[in-house]
Amino acid sequence: MDKLIIRGGNRLSGTIPISGAKNAALTLIPCALLTEEAVTLRNLPRLADIDGFQHLMTQFGVSHTIPGKRPEEFGRNVTLEAMRITSSVAPYDLVRKMRASILVLGPLLARTGEATVSLPGGCAIGNRPIDLHLKALEAFGAQIELAQGYVKAVAPDGGLPGGEFDFPVVSVGATENALMTAVLCNGTSKLINAAREPEIVDLCNLLTAMGAEIEGIGSSELTIHGVKKLHGATYRVMPDRIEAGSYACAAAITGGEVFLEGADADDMASTIHALRNIGVEIETDKKGVRVAANQPLKAHNLTTAPFPGLATDMQAQLMSLLCKAEGTSVLKETIFENRFMHVPELIRMGADIETTGRTAIVRGPVELTGAEVMATDLRASMSLVIAGLAAKGETTVRRLYHLDRGYERLEEKLQLVGADIERVGDD
């Protein structure tokens, strides 16, 4: 198993190209199940999760073609075609490693009238039940049965009539599944208190390009007028706001200056706001976001929240940055209950962090020192890389399969801006 070796202390400087968004791509791929025609996704990141999802799609008879592209380039274009659905079953072996696999439930149900999907896996960052996914589909007329670790959904004869669902709490995944189901319902459906994340907007934009009729895009209330059939489309995946925010933290913790090429400042407004409050200089334009840390960092209190609040996926990276800030910072995690598992690893590197429940107190600045650390989930992995870039000495990060799920060729991008980082095989 590979590991990353990071020799800290180098100031990052230069340009980092931002890849297509993982969280958007994993929602756009299953849209191919909704039509017989080809769906081409441009700027699809090369990630383990994307490869895994494409493998799952072949289970249903979906073909995919990848035109030739130079291996040194980031991203790729993929054409998916589901002319005929050959299976409506998503087995455990293909689903267990990736929570996003549950997003095939709605499209399969809408297209074929039935779907059987294994309960999903993913990062161990807390309890993430799928009850809201199922309740939304039931509101649209589906019959749901849970048995032996599988969800079986069946539409009535004649198809799903559609309906109204009011989310008791905001859920990104459940909103996505409900959207992809509603577009092929017989009637009009309404989603109330729907998630508003940019990835939801990206999904709505692709569905609209395929012929769906959706009102209220970008708001918490979506009205979907079902259509009989969707057609193919070519669509570019939005830039990854979490990747961009992660590299912004990496630049800032080294006192560096980096241009995040292709980053969308509007999508990452809450992260930019937090960085500015910490003392990081941010400039934005249509081509990307420039990050510079030319002054001492200062403590800042942060609370994660659904969009437009601070993304939970940025909490760990900002925590690493705050280890080098002057003063005491308080971070509150409101989305997932187990998202401080990176804290013991940061403490091994010299961080002064105290946790109580969903609150972390970070005291700084401290001198971080290199250590052997182990990633516990995707974003925790990146927080350790960020800390390693500023640490004195050598840091070894293990369990890279977490990083490979969400960051396209991370070490290559960091090398572009002067980081001393390399991937090596484990002994």
Instruction: Sort 183 into a burial class: Cβ within 10 Å, 0-12 / 13-18 / 19+.
Output: buried
| Residue 178 confidence (pLDDT) above 90 | yes
> What integer pLDDT is reported at residue 125 of this predicted model?
34
> What integer pLDDT is reported at residue 144 of this predicted model?
94
CB 181 within 8 A of CB 140: yes
CB 394 within 8 A of CB 371: no
Q: What is the pLDDT of residues 25-51, one digit of tens each?
A: 999 999 999 999 999 999 999 998 898
> What integer pLDDT is reported at residue 68 of this predicted model?
61
| Residue 85 confidence (pLDDT) above 60 | yes
Of the given ranges (62-66, 102-106, 205-209), which has the lowest mean pLDDT? 62-66
Q: Alpha-carbon distance 75 to 322, whole Å?
A: 31
The DSSP 8-state label assigned to residue 119 in this structure reads P
Helix residue ranges, H only, 259-400: 269-278, 315-322, 343-348, 378-390
| Residue 280 confidence (pLDDT) above 60 | yes
Residue spans per domain, the chain? 2-19+239-425, 22-236
Identical topology for domains 2-19+239-425 and 22-236:
yes
Which of the pair, 386 or 98, is modelled with greater confidence?
Answer: 386
Q: From the annotation, which residues make up the binding site for phosphoenolpyruvate?
A: 22-23
What single-letter amino acid sits at 3?
K
Other CB atoms within 10 Å distance of the CB of residue 219: 11
What single-letter amino acid sits at 97?
K
| Residue 122 confidence (pLDDT) above 90 | no
Other CB atoms within 10 Å distance of the CB of residue 127: 7
> What integer pLDDT is reported at residue 124 of this predicted model?
40
Q: What is the pLDDT of residues 340-377, one digit of tens each?
A: 889 999 999 999 999 999 999 999 999 999 999 998 88
Where residue 196 falls (left for φ over 0; alpha for ψ -120 to 50; beta otherwise) is alpha
Of the given ranges (62-76, 122-136, 298-312), which has the lowest mean pLDDT? 122-136
> What integer pLDDT is reported at residue 67 of this predicted model?
73
Q: Alpha-carbon distance 151 to 87, whole Å?
A: 15
Q: From the annotation, which residues make up the binding site?
A: 22-23, 99, 128-132, 313, 335
> What integer pLDDT is reported at residue 1 of this predicted model?
78
Helix residue ranges, H only, 47-126: 48-59, 92-95, 105-112
* C-alpha closest to that of 80 among 27, 36, 22, 24: 36
* Rg, Å, the chain Cα set: 22
Across 233-241, average pLDDT:
97
Across 378-388, average pLDDT:
92
Q: Alpha-carbon distance 142 to 114, whole Å?
A: 9
> What integer pLDDT is reported at residue 405 of this predicted model?
86
Across 397-402, average pLDDT:
89
- In Å, what is the CA distance from 339 to each residue of 108, 127, 321, 335, 404? 32, 11, 16, 9, 19
Where residue 369 falls (left for φ over 0; alpha for ψ -120 to 50; beta otherwise) is beta
The DSSP 8-state label assigned to residue 313 in this structure reads G
123 is catalytic: yes
Catalytic residue selected from 123, 204, 249, 323 = 123
The DSSP 8-state label assigned to residue 421 in this structure reads E
What single-letter amino acid sits at 321?
L
Across 324-345, average pLDDT:
90
Helix residue ranges, H only, 213-268: 241-253
At 70, the pLDDT band (50, 70, 90 cuts) reads low
- What is the overall mean pLDDT for the chain? 93
Give me the long-range contacts of 62-66 (CB less than 8 A, separation at least 24): 62/32, 62/33
CB 335 within 8 A of CB 313: no
> What integer pLDDT is reported at residue 339 of this predicted model?
76
Other CB atoms within 10 Å distance of the CB of residue 110: 26
Per the omega criterion (within 30 degrees of 0), is the bond before 161 cis? no
Q: Alpha-carbon distance 325 to 329, whole Å?
A: 8
pTM for the structure as a whole? 0.94
Across 314-341, average pLDDT:
92
Across 210-230, average pLDDT:
98
Q: From the annotation, which residues make up the binding site for UDP-N-acetyl-alpha-D-glucosamine?
A: 99, 128-132, 313, 335
Homologous superfamily (CATH) of 22-236 is Enolpyruvate transferase domain (3.65.10.10)
DSSP annotation string for 165-233: EE-SS--HHHHHHHHHHHTTSSSEEEEES----HHHHHHHHHHHHTT-EEESTTSSEEEEE--S----E
> 142: number of CA atoms within 13 Å, CB side?
33
Q: Alpha-carbon distance 335 to 282, whole Å?
A: 27
At 113, the pLDDT band (50, 70, 90 cuts) reads very high
> What integer pLDDT is reported at residue 72 of this predicted model?
59
Across 118-143, average pLDDT:
76
| Residue 120 confidence (pLDDT) above 90 | no
* C-alpha closest to that of 74 among 18, 119, 114: 18
Across 267-272, average pLDDT:
97
* Token pair listed for 259: 């241009």
* Token pair listed for 230: 């969707």
> What integer pLDDT is reported at residue 402 of this predicted model?
85
Q: Alpha-carbon distance 402 to 382, whole Å?
A: 9
Does the domain at residues 2-19+239-425 carry the CATH identifier 3.65.10.10? yes
Across 209-222, average pLDDT:
98
> What integer pLDDT is reported at residue 62 of this predicted model?
95
| Residue 369 φ/ψ, nearest 5 degrees | -125, 145
CB 220 within 8 A of CB 246: no
Q: What is the pLDDT of residues 7-21, one digit of tens each?
A: 999 999 999 999 999
| Residue 141 φ/ψ, nearest 5 degrees | 110, 5
> What integer pLDDT is reported at residue 278 of this predicted model?
98
Q: What is the dihedral of CA 116, 201, 244, 259, to 10 degrees?
A: 150
| Residue 71 confidence (pLDDT) above 70 | no
